[in-house]
Amino acid sequence: MQRHPCQGISVPQRGDVTIWVWESVTLSNRVAYDSDVLAQVERFDRMRGALPPVRISDAYRKRAHEAVETRIALAGYRLAAILADVLSRAAAEDS
């Protein structure tokens, strides 16, 4: 939690996961499909050959690892917020 504090984390309204989806799309375009990886894929696509394993640099691995850690922490915070909302509603109905 120290590496990923929950301050400033947005929790969209119930059922509105579109924001979360677009966050993931944006992140994947920036991190997973970086220019080095795309260049390797495009080069083999032009040759119409089978794509050999893509070489991943240490910098790529580090960026991807950091992005994954952040997304997991964010998912945990959002899940906690949703559960807290559900439980508080259930408690209010029982009262």
pLDDT digits (tens, 9 = 90+) for 16-58: 778 888 888 998 888 888 888 888 888 877 777 677 777 888 9
Residue 47: how many other CB atoms lie within 10 Å = 9
Q: Does pLDDT of 14 surpass 70?
A: no
Residue in the structure block whose two tokens are 């080095």: 36
pTM to 2 decimals? 0.69
Spatial CA neighbour of 78 closest among 16, 3, 2: 16
